[in-house]
Amino acid sequence: MASALKNLSSHRALTLNGASNVRVCVVVSEWNHKITGALSRGAVSTLLDHGIKEKNILVHTVPGSFELTLGASLVNQKYKPDAVICLGCVITGETRHAEYICNAVAQGLTILSLQHQIPFIFGVLTPDTQKQAEERSGGKHGNKGIEAAMTALELIKLKKSL
């Protein structure tokens, strides 16, 4: 989702045939709720804007970003969605915990994607500071929740086209 532009939130229109039947789960970390709440709102509004019915957008929370992988696996097992968007925010701080958490979540979501053949989207911010997190959750760098939703939609479209 990165680019030289550093703001992909102004997305192009995407036509997804059968969007009204698409089901998407959004799993959101409660840690750094101000940030993750903004990411979630961005993702949900983007899904709605692209024709996903509100009743087919299922939002669930987990305590922190580390728990996103299990939360994603559980919602996939229960709802069998077309995609799972995982949103979190791990601010680096003074220790290396962010590196370990983000690597574990990225690897876990990759494994889930390959096992279940649906997109499990890594929408976890990894900023150095709170200000950087705010800039990426609706500030000057856009809203990465929007980008995560667009990524999910693009992959759903790809799968349906194959």
Catalytic residue positions, numbered: 97
Would you call 75 exposed, middle or buried from its count of C-beta atoms within 10 A (0-12, 13-18, 19+)?
buried
Annotate 14-36 with b (16+ C-beta within 10 A) or e (fewer): eebeebeebbbbbbbbebbeebb
DSSP letters, 70-104, are: HHHHHHHHHH--SEEEEEEE---TTSSHHHHHHHH
Q: Name the token pair of 62.
A: 């987990």
Contacts of 103 (CB under 8 A, 6+ apart): none
For residues 149 and 39, give the distance between their C-alpha atoms in angstroms, rounded to a whole number: 10
Looking at this protein, which amino acid is placed at residue 117?
Answer: Q
